Amino acid sequence: MAGRCSGCKSSPAEVNIEQVHRAINQKVPRKKRKKMAELASLPNAFEGEAGLLPGWYHAFFGNQDPVTLELGCGWGEYSIALARRFPQRNFIGVDVKGARLWKAATVALEQGVSNVAFLRVYADRLLQFFEEGEVEEIWLPFPDPFPKPSRARHRLTSPKYLALYRELLRPEGRVHLKTDDPGLYAYTLETVREAGGRVLVAETRLPDLEDAADPRYICTKYERLHREQGKAIRYLCFAFV
């Protein structure tokens, strides 16, 4: 994960998604455009606007097990690490940046990690691609904090996203947030409680541990950079039941 999760923004209102992608592609360097074009050919990568059939992820994984999502997965470090640690579970990394997803999907294939897939779609459209109550967990590692109050609605822990997660998650499902931003941490505590959620774990300084059994200690290159700068890593786990 090379930067903040800017890959799960809200979808543009009343805009044709194909026009958006064309406009983006015109501004993208040729090398990135090539990767984005190749994304559709990868067996573990899916375009959200490609008319996916219901149950598409069950067909990919070959089972009916619930899935865990990582929103704003970027280059897939966290999703792949989760899949390697829990080979009996299914994971899907979600982002809108095709070049990053190409890298994530390619690395997963090269490493032979078959229980992870990647979906290119805006986060607020997830209910079009997943059944209600079928997601086991949602991970939000270092999402963009959108510090300006005028941009608060774009935060992945804003009320509209919490309502979305409530629909996606199984009754016992959980959401995990990792952030170096104290403002986003405090904001999330408040919005979760206002939404009637339960904060299960709240840590203002997550230890730097190498614990293979606990996914909260997965450390990406981005997190390592923050730790080297002396920043505290905050962690929240919450549910809606």
- In three-state secondary structure terms, 71 is strand
- How many Cα atoms sit within 13 Å of 161 on the Cβ side? 24
Task: Provide the token pair at 99.
Answer: 């070049």
Q: Which residue has the tokens 């064309």?
A: 22
208 tagged catalytic: no
Question: Measured between alpha carbons, how far is 146 from 41 in angstroms, rounded to an integer?
Answer: 34
Question: Measured between alpha carbons, how far is 33 from 46 in angstroms, rounded to an integer?
Answer: 16
Residue 68 near residue 33 (C-beta atoms within 8 A): no
Return the amino acid letter for 175. Answer: V
Strand order across the beta sheet in which 135-141 lies: 45-47, 116-120, 90-95, 67-71, 135-141, 169-179, 234-239, 198-203
φ, ψ (nearest 5 deg) of residue 152: -60, -30
**Which of 144, 181, 208, 211 does the annotation list as catalytic?**
144
Return the amino acid letter for 147. Answer: P
Q: Could you give the residue numbers annotated as active site?
A: 144
